[in-house]
Amino acid sequence: MKIAVLSTNRDLYSTRRLVEAGEERGHAIRVINHKRCYMNIVSNESDIHYNGESLKGFDAIIPRIGASVTFYGTAVVRQFETMGVYSVNESVAISRSRDKLRSLQLLARKGIDLPVTGFANAPGDTDDLLAVVGGAPVVIKLLEGTQGVGVVLAETKKAAASVIEAFRGLKANFMVQEFVKEADGADIRCLVIGDKVVAAMKRQGKEGEFRSNLHRGGTASLVKISPAERRTAVQSAKVMGLNVAGVDLLQSSRGPVVLEVNSSPGLEGIEKATKRDVAGTIIEFIEKNARHGRTKTRGKG
Ligand code: ADP
Ligand code: MG
């Protein structure tokens, strides 16, 4: 098959591994920088151009769209979908997963357990907003943060009110969440492909840090997940409409709660911690599922 990996950097571990895994299986793999694609939107004969060349003839794409280029990146994915090219994750699903609030609302609607989460706009509501999530300590998050940036633990009501005031002053969208203390600075990353968790790791924040992000100095180790965790992860990816997803869970005293669902999960941490060939499993999923025009949400924005 002819497969394109949409990535802005061919030297990134995840990009390199996808190229390697595809070539090992006999496919022609190309890395295409979606930021440098330009599009020709014409009824019934849309096209994408790259360095003066037309990008027709791909069987499948693997979008690896960074958070800072979601708008343009998903437009490029949508253009491929319009042309009938199979995308392992569809543009609509990627957009959904990028907005934490929108994701949590979708997951809640399907009965998936989440940390209690509040969201408000008007400044007068701070006290009640804190009460809704059970009072301090609370976690306050920017809706479009990644890698732990913009995720703050407010231990007291006073601290929470100050952080909320600061975020409001910056006109940033944020949410307020119950602090799941018993997670103890750790979370579980489940790598879901299709309807399976193909690898799972536990990430532990460094000493004194409640955020377990590897970019914040957290460490990863192989973990055996419970059936409830497995079910929650697979169901969450499905609700989001993602075939490939990194589902982050906290182990709360009432069972697994979902923190977020990532549409371009990094492969380095999880492949190294679990010794699983995640990139190869993504290619195999494409081999089984890629068909011209098989795009569920085509034309639905
Ligand atoms: P990001 O998208 O920036 O990674 P997350 O929502 O995943 O933001 O939060 C970063 C980390 O902070 C999580 O991996 C988790 O370890 C910790 N964390 C986030 N929310 C909570 C919470 N409600 N209770 C306890 N820990 C949390
Ligand atoms: Mg996270």
Q: Is the CB of 117 under 6 A from ligand 1?
A: no
Tens-place pLDDT, residues 150-173: 899 999 999 999 999 898 888 888
Q: Which amino acid is at 277?
A: D
- Phi and psi at 174, nearest 5°, equal -145, 165
Q: Whose CA is nearest to atom 18 of ligand 1?
A: 211
* pLDDT-based confidence at residue 119 (cuts at 50, 70, 90): confident
At 299, the pLDDT band (50, 70, 90 cuts) reads: very low
Fold assignment, 97-113+182-287: D-amino Acid Aminotransferase; Chain A, domain 1 (3.30.470)
CATH topology of domain 117-179: Dna Ligase; domain 1 (3.30.1490)
Question: Which ligand lies nearest the alpha carbon of 149?
Answer: 1
The residue among 100 and 240 whose pLDDT is bigger is 240
Q: Is the pLDDT of residue 295 over 90?
A: no
Å from CA of 213 to ligand 2 middle: 6
Q: What CATH number belongs to 2-90?
A: 3.40.50.20
Q: Give the bridge partners for 2, in sequence order.
A: 28
Check pLDDT > 90 for residue 26: yes
Average pLDDT for the chain:
92
pLDDT of residue 136 exceeding 50, the answer is yes
**119 within ligand 1 shell (Cβ under 6 A):** no
For the chain, how far is it from start to end, CA to CA, in angstroms?
A: 27
H-state helical runs in the chain: 13-24, 70-82, 91-98, 100-109, 126-132, 157-169, 227-240, 268-274, 278-289
- With a 6 A CB cut-off, is 211 part of the ligand 1 pocket? yes
| CA nearest neighbour of 175 among 125, 112, 233, 237 | 125
Residue 64: predicted pLDDT? 97
Report residue 100's pLDDT band, with 50, 70 and 90 as the boundaries: confident
Task: Considering only CA atoms, give the Rg of the chain.
Answer: 20
Of 86-90, 96-100, 104-108, 141-145, the range with the lowest mean pLDDT is 141-145
Per-residue pLDDT tens for 245-274? Answer: 999 999 999 999 999 999 999 999 999 999
Q: At what angle do helices 100-109 and 91-98 cross, to 10 degrees?
A: 100
CB of 210 within 6 A of ligand 1: the answer is yes
Comparing CA positions, the residue from 156, 268, 57 lying closest to residue 140 is: 156
User: DSSP class of residue 176?
Assistant: E
Whether 146 lines ligand 1, by a CB cut-off of 6 Å, is yes
Residues 188 and 248 sit within 8 Å (Cβ to Cβ): yes
**179-235 per-position pLDDT tens digit:** 999 999 999 999 999 999 999 999 999 999 999 998 899 999 999 999 999 999 999
**Domains in the chain: boundaries:** 2-90, 97-113+182-287, 117-179
- Give the H/E segment covering residue 188: strand 186-193
* CA 25 distance to own-chain centroid: 26
Q: What DSSP designation does 116 have?
A: -
Token pair 């499905």: residue:
238
Instruction: For residue 56, give both structure tokens.
Output: 């027709």
**pLDDT band, very low/low/confident/very high, at 148 (cuts 50, 70, 90):** confident
Ligand number, closest to the Cα atom of 153: 1
Pocket test for ligand 1, best of 213, 249, 257, 270 (most atoms within 8 A of CB): 213
Of the residues 130, 206, 211, 248, which should be mutated to test ligand 1's pocket, given the most ligand atoms within 8 Å of the CB? 211
